[in-house]
Structure 1
Amino acid sequence: MRLLRARNRRRARGLPASRSTHAVYFLLMHAYGMGGTIRTVHNLAGYLARDHEVTLYSLIRTREEPFFPFPEDITVTPLDDRTEAGRPRGLLGLVSAVLSRIPSVLVHGDDRAYKISSLWTDVQLFRAIRSLRSGVLITTRPALNLIALTLAPPGVITVGQEHMNLGVHKPGLRKAIKRNYGRLDALAVLTDRDRSSYEPLLRSAPTRLVRIPNAVPRLAGGTAQYDSKVVVAAGRLTNQKGFDLLVRAWAQVKPAYPDWTLRIYGSGPWREKLQRMISEHALGENVHLMGRTNHMGEELAKGSIYALSSRFEGFAMVVIEAMSKALPMVAFDCPTGPADVIVAGENGALIKPGDIEGFAAALMEFMDDESKRRRCGMNAQETARTYDLDVVGTQWNELFADLAVPRS
């Protein structure tokens, strides 16, 4: 790595005064999968393709078709294609099989990407990044950010994205972040709270620290009508999303509002656990695990309230999507994200993290007052307009223009 950095310094001496931003490269862990980060990167890539040549690199590929359709006019390149059709054959296949059994040396061991990486993915990453000569490389998780700032040639502008707050990263990863992020050209975070967390780390570094939120494209379907007795929640069925807390809150809601239902969209390892909780609290007629949907816009519009029960977030994309459907919010004030968009009494309610009774009470306040649902829902829709794809995409283009001219 030291030799690479020395070589980069030598090559940097011959660079022009400005760097090209015409080509934009995204690097995702799994561009073919599902999740908020994947969806937001697809949205942004599609927008930037209007004015840039956009390539989307996927560290791995494990499915033939992407969960979210790829935008038009972008190039998608899987680095480690594990599908039957894409798997290497012959001698290359043998080399791939051998190297795939050896743990990665590039991907940080405390990053979730480490578990799905190997020496083979390292080789593909090295080849892809070192082949770049100019343009902007946007990496989308800590391990990839750290790799980019080491491997990217000096003519390439490196922009790290953080989709999670600093505090949720494991200690070893946080240490690497603190030691190395100052070598990125820019670090883009999603919330003001995130920016405050990273400012002390980058104060003496030339890295541009910017807050650019996730953009929300226009979703299909109408907007909330407030006469349905439905509360909507969505996300991976995991500890992070706190649906166990939401089920416990609903157990307090049901006696007073037995005609209301809770619909939870998403899949994940906690499905059986949540189903048991629903049965134990005798909520089977009121709380429904709906599974995945490709029609989230239409499903959100069927609700009258949105519930965010997360223990922590990076930036809850689905909150802005729900706001765009004019749904009032009830959310735990978890780190980070909800407090950036929810103003208590204006477009929703913010509850102290873990306060199940308070969460239930806030839900019941909205259930009891259609005019409050409507007023807060309309305000929420106004909030969502500031996260429109055209607004956020413009912020990215402004960042590129700034990065094209090196600081003196």
Structure 2
Amino acid sequence: MKIRYLLLHAYGMGGTIRTVFTQAGALAAAGHDVRVVSVLRRADRPYFPLDSRVRLFALADLRHDHDAEPDAPRGPLRRLADRRAARPPRFVPHGEGGYAALTRGIERQVIDYLGELRDGVLVTTRPSLNLLAARFATRGVLRVAQEHMNLAVHQPDVRAAIARWYGRFDAIAVLTQRDRGDYLRIAPGTRVELIPNAVHSLKQKPSTCASRIAVAAGRLRPQKGFDLLIPAFSRLVDEFPDWQLRIYGTGDRGNQLRKLIDEHHLYNQVFLMGRSDQLDEELAKASMYVLSSRAEGLPMVMIEAMTHALPVVSFDCPTGPSDVITDGKEGLLVPPEDVDGLAAAMRTLMADEGLRAQMGDAALATVQAYSPEAIRDRWTALFESLASSRTG
């Protein structure tokens, strides 16, 4: 089967990129013809490893100007064309997160590519690309919209466009049960499949749950709620002075979070670790994973942590944590943005190494359902069903 994944920037380091690479590799290993198409390219090589059987190429290579030398003369018509190409995209809603990365010229390149497809399966991976595929991909290709964030967090103009155009898809793939219901309501009559993302590997070093380290990870942005996690942890340092909270990730709220650490006098307990290329090793050193997000799609770093037999403390935010975690089994769920509740749940695990180990074992058992092979089989079943329906 011929399968194409369309990503905005396959050379970056986002969670969507990693999970798509995992999906593509698993399908290629099963003998499918798989390609990853990146709209943009700003780096010489991908940040994440990609199976050698998967072909990768880009539509717009932004590493340098391929059209002319920097000092080459440009006539009036060329300058006019350049200005038009540099305008904002025409068909992507302003509230979509990838809007700023696109121009009218790049949008046209995507539309031209979509118009060339004649067969196989096309999986688009964010609203901007989904909307373009719904409008401009040919009828010869099976179109699947893959959503990595829950519907409620999209801006109103994005939700309005989804309601208008997603009905053209052969299927919409979502990550959680709640999102499946939301998309069935906004795109009635369209097939909506629940297929979670896969972890990149189940062969991970398990934690002993004996250390005094709690770990969180994600972009340093309001969505991840680290401004709630730090005050919650501050309530525990007098009782557990030998514990550390390590937060991995980069983002535009780093300075604000450092100030928050200073305000709570947590210089020796809370550390902003930056980006790590050895996050698996760091997770194996920890004794619990804490998710403080205000909203999620499906929290993949949390699920990756579970592959290390780590128990989880999490806000029961929309969406994702409760799709994976049963409160009291693999970890503890607390009401969204409840700082006191988050502190109390962390206290429960910090005080009981046996409980941490018990919940960590349960987490490792639960996460087996997210193996690349298990998730690959669900994608294969969807593609084969769509192809069979089209043939019929």
Q: Which band: TM-score by shorter chain?
A: over 0.9
Return the match for 2:102 from 86, 104, 117: 117
Deviations 1:358-393 (A, max 9, x none): 101110110111110011000001111010110000
Structure 2 residue 126 is the aligned partner of structure 1 residue 147: no
Residues in 2 aligned to 1:248 and 1:172: alpha-carbon distance in whole angstroms = 34
Q: Which residue of 1 aligns with 2:201?
A: 218
Tell me which of 109, 116, 122 is aligned to 1:137: 122
1:243-298 per-residue CA deviation (whole Å, 9 max, x = no partner) reads: 11000101101111010000111111111111111111110101111111121111
Moved more, 317-326 or 52-61: 52-61
Q: Which residue in the other structure is 2:7 paired with?
A: 28
Matched, 1:316 2:296: no
3-state DSSP of counterpart to 1:331: strand
3-state DSSP of counterpart to 2:148: coil
Counting only pairs closer than 5 Å after superposition, residues 239-254 of structure 1 correspond to structure 2 as 239-254=222-237
Structure 1: unaligned runs, 5 residues or longer: 1-21
Q: Does residue 164 of the first structure (1) align with residue 149 of the second (2)? A: yes
Structure 2 gaps of 5+ residues are none
1:15 aligned residue: none
User: Cα offset for 1:69?
Assistant: 2.4
**d(CA) in 2 for partners of 1:88 and 1:269?**
34
Is the Cα contact below 8 Å between 1:220 and 1:297 reproduced in 2?
A: no
Task: Provide Cα deviations, 1:21-80, integer angstroms capped at 9, x if missing partner.
Answer: x21111111111111111101110111112211111111112223221232111111111
In the other structure, the counterpart of 1:393 is 376
Q: Tell me, in whole angstroms, the C-alpha distance in 1 between the residues paired with 2:336 and 2:22.
A: 30
- 1:175 aligns with one of 160, 177, 184: 160
What CA distance in whole angstroms lies between the structure 1 residues aligned with 2:306 and 2:337?
23
Work out the CA distance in 2 between the residues paired with 1:222 and 1:161. Answer: 31
Tell me the alpha carbon deviations over residues 54-111 of structure 1, each in whole angstroms, 9 at most, x when there is no partner: 1111111122232212321111111111103x64336999678444422211322221
SS of the aligned residue for 2:139 comes to coil
Question: Which residue does the alignment assign to 1:68?
Answer: 48
- Equivalence map 1:326-345=2 (5 Å): 326-345=309-328
If the length of structure 1 is used for normalisation, what is the TM-score?
Answer: 0.91
Measured against aligned partners, the alpha-carbon deviations of 1:296-316 in whole angstroms (never above 9, x if no partner) come to 111111000100000000110
Instruction: Report the Cα offset of residue 233 of structure 1.
Output: 0.5
- Work out the CA distance in 1 between the residues paired with 2:360 and 2:204: 16
**How far apart, CA to CA, are the structure 1 residues paired with 2:367 and 2:67?**
45
User: Deviation digits for residues 341-361 of structure 1, max 9, x if unmatched?
Assistant: 111111100010111111011
Mapped contact 2:144–2:171 kept (Cα < 8 A): yes
SS in structure 2 of the partner of residue 244 of structure 1: helix
RMSD: 1.8
What is the Cα deviation at residue 336 of structure 1? 0.2
Q: Distance in 1 between matches of 2:87 and 2:341?
A: 49
Change (3 A) 1:219 1:289: farther
2:40 maps to 1:56: no
Rounded Cα–Cα distance in structure 2 between residues aligned with 1:139 and 1:373:
39
The TM-score normalised by the length of structure 2 is 0.94
The percentage of aligned residue pairs carrying the same residue is: 45
What is the number of residues matched between the two proteins?
A: 384
